[in-house]
Amino acid sequence: MERRALGASGLQVSRMGLGTMAWGRDTDWPTVKQLVNDFIDAGGNLLDTAPAYGGGVAEKMIGKLLAGGVARQDLVIATKAGFVIRGGKRVIDTSRAAMLTDLEQSLRRLNTDHVDLWQVHAWGDAPIDETLSAMDSAVSRGLARYVGVSNFVGWQTATAATWQQALTERTKLSSVQVEYSLLARRAEVEVVGAAEHHNLGLLAWSSLGRGALTGKYRTGIPRDSRAASDHFAWFLEPYMQPRSRSVVDAVAKAAEGLGLTPAQVALLWLRDAPQVASALVGPRTPEHLSELLDAESKELVAPIVSALDDVSGGPNAYRPPATAPVR
């Protein structure tokens, strides 16, 4: 699998990353083990996780993988801090103390002495300079190799990046992680521009529109799907509305004409969008992963990209002129 530099850093990440949000709940241990082995065999290296995923279960599974023989050097482990589950409630705490405590606990669960990428999971109430000082500390102590932000809007991303660039002793940000897909193009309004200006690699979560872009919900909600589950129905609900149907139908039509699956078309559109370093996916089965891996050697031609741009919100201002729609 092709790898890309994460922003202006020296960290190389696979252009498709494996998300772990559903691990331990929808994805059991034997499946996780096979998914990761298949992913590594295909040349993938980026695993994206967080303390909030399953209340730490996803991180523990990665730790179990490492203890069971998966080579640490084969993985780029990205985790987060500042957003955790405490007492069954979601808590955002980006203070220096909370951030470093989160990291220490993550390292224990992950069974490693460092993470490759450490991200602020969300903008919090603590002063941003305090939050970022925790990241400087982690890098200086060897607990994290690179740092980034997650779920920041454009001005927040630019503020954090500018602060870290102000003094040479601070650790420059390498990435920004944000939801981005054919059903969620808000990132193009400000975040992509901020990432481009500050040389940040963009990690796109839910690149398949939380699963809606696979086309599996075009005729209803399958009983075994995430949209039918008590714990993930809320996650899919925004993309189960009529306004999303035209986009999903367009993806399905393009897939039919190209001899691809809707999931592959959605992935290719996002994977090769400007500033994207890695498209994060969360397959639940090895078969789902195999389908996505089969798209590695493929790419969409410019007219298809332009048509999908148009149906999902209009031209992408950051695309090179060669792939811009003809006017």
Question: Which tens digit of pLDDT belongs to each residue from 240-264?
Answer: 888 899 999 999 999 999 999 999 9
Asked if the model's pLDDT at residue 6 lies above 70, the reply is yes
Please say if 180 is a catalytic residue.
Answer: no
Q: Which of 90, 28, 80, 21 is nearest to 232 (CA)?
A: 21
CA angle 30-32-34, nearest 5°? 70
Average pLDDT, the chain: 93
Asked if the model's pLDDT at residue 269 lies above 90, the reply is yes
Torsion of CA 170, 174, 179, 185, to 10 degrees: 110
Average pLDDT, stretch 101-108? Answer: 98
- Is 173 part of a structural domain of the chain? yes
Taken in order 310, 325, 178, 17, the sign of the CA dihedral is positive
| Identity of the residue numbered 157 | T
- Is 21 part of a structural domain of the chain? yes
Whether the CB-CB separation of 176 and 139 falls below 8 Å is answered with no
Q: Which of 113, 157, 117, 108 is nearest to 13 (CA)?
A: 117
The reported pTM is: 0.94
> Which are the contacts of 34, defined by CB distance < 8 A and separation ≥ 6?
286
Q: How many alpha carbons fall within 13 Å on the CB side of residue 318?
A: 18
**So what's the pLDDT on residue 61?**
98
- Is 326 part of a structural domain of the chain? no
Q: How far apart are the first and last CA of the chain?
A: 35
Asked if the model's pLDDT at residue 102 lies above 80, the reply is yes
Asked if the model's pLDDT at residue 324 lies above 60, the reply is no
Question: Which tens digit of pLDDT belongs to each residue from 175-185?
Answer: 999 999 999 99
CA distance 67 to 109: 11
Domain count for the chain, please give it.
Answer: 1
- Is 321 part of a structural domain of the chain? no
Compute CA 42 distance to the chain's CA centroid, rounded to the nearest angstrom. 19
Question: Which tens digit of pLDDT belongs to each residue from 78-99?
Answer: 999 999 877 778 889 999 999 9
Q: What is the DSSP letter of 185?
A: -
- Is 213 part of a structural domain of the chain? no
| Identity of the residue numbered 51 | P
- Is 319 part of a structural domain of the chain? no
- Is 247 part of a structural domain of the chain? no
- Is 221 part of a structural domain of the chain? no
- 53, 146, 180, 239: which is the annotated catalytic residue? 53
% residues pLDDT > 90 (the chain): 85
In CATH, what number is assigned to the domain containing residue 115? Answer: 3.20.20.100
pLDDT band at 327 (very low <50, low <70, confident <90, very high): very low
Q: Could you tell me the residue range of the domain that residue 79 belongs to? A: 3-208+261-298
